[in-house]
Amino acid sequence: MTNLQDKFKKETVPKLKEEFAIKNALAVPRLEKINLNMGLAEAASNREVLAKAQEQLATIAGQRPRVTTAKKAISSFKLRAGDQIGLMVTLRKKKAWDFLEKLISIVMPRMRDFRGLLETNFDKAGNYSLPLTEQILFPEVDYAKVDKIRGLVVTLVFKNSNPEKSKRMLELLGLPFRKS
């Protein structure tokens, strides 16, 4: 078990149960999975872009990403249905907790002009999407092999939650939120 997962079980769960008057420990919000998505519009015309981005996302996530394809054709973007236009990885259980710990302790301190996370990035189910503008924030990515700076979206998916509960859980785990 990771340090963050221990902290969640020993400190965060009791506090959440107390604050939200939750009687059953199974009804407490939990991290179900983490999705990493990288949109690669230029991959439709250049195959090398997809291979390089796939290698970088695999080193970031620790597992091979899945290639996503366009569902519909959009002529103004010169896009056909079935074109390969992105990558995605889903991390669960221990890998998800390890990634979240790395995100909090290593990646966020390396972000430029970071003043905290935006509270507006929660959806109705309490899931949180964090857009990252550079893949080089992750220490595993070799800067010499990077051909272009690309962004990715990290989505934290929670079970038994809403935006208020998810925000409180993330605050207790050590994620700072911006006072807007």
Domain count, the chain: 1
Task: Report the distance separating Cα 36 and Cα 46, nearest Å.
Answer: 22
pLDDT at 75 (0 to 100): 61
pLDDT band at 145 (very low <50, low <70, confident <90, very high): low
Residues paired with residue 68 on neighbouring β-strands, in sequence order: 86
pLDDT digits (tens, 9 = 90+) for 78-91: 666 766 677 888 88
- In this structure, is residue 178 part of a structural domain? no
Q: What is the CB-side half-sphere exposure of residue 18 using CA atoms within 13 A?
A: 5
pLDDT digits (tens, 9 = 90+) for 20-74: 887 887 878 888 888 888 877 666 566 777 777 777 778 777 888 877 776 667 6
- In this structure, is residue 110 part of a structural domain? yes
- In this structure, is residue 142 part of a structural domain? yes
- In this structure, is residue 180 part of a structural domain? no
pLDDT at 71 (0 to 100): 66
C-alpha triplet 134, 141, 88: angle, nearest 5°: 65
**Structural domain of residue 64, as residue ranges?**
3-173
Top-confidence residue, 136 or 92: 92
pLDDT digits (tens, 9 = 90+) for 108-133: 777 777 777 777 878 888 788 888 87
Cα-based distances in Å from 180 to 11, 17, 52, 116, 120: 27, 27, 37, 10, 10
Q: Given a cut of 60, is residue 180 above it in pLDDT?
A: no
- In this structure, is residue 37 part of a structural domain? yes
pLDDT at 38 (0 to 100): 81
pLDDT at 63 (0 to 100): 86
CATH of residue 12: 3.30.1440.10
Cβ count near 44 (within 10 Å): 18
Q: Are 63 and 89 in contact (CB under 8 A)?
A: yes
pLDDT at 76 (0 to 100): 60
3-class secondary-structure state, position 149: coil
pLDDT at 30 (0 to 100): 85
- In this structure, is residue 35 part of a structural domain? yes
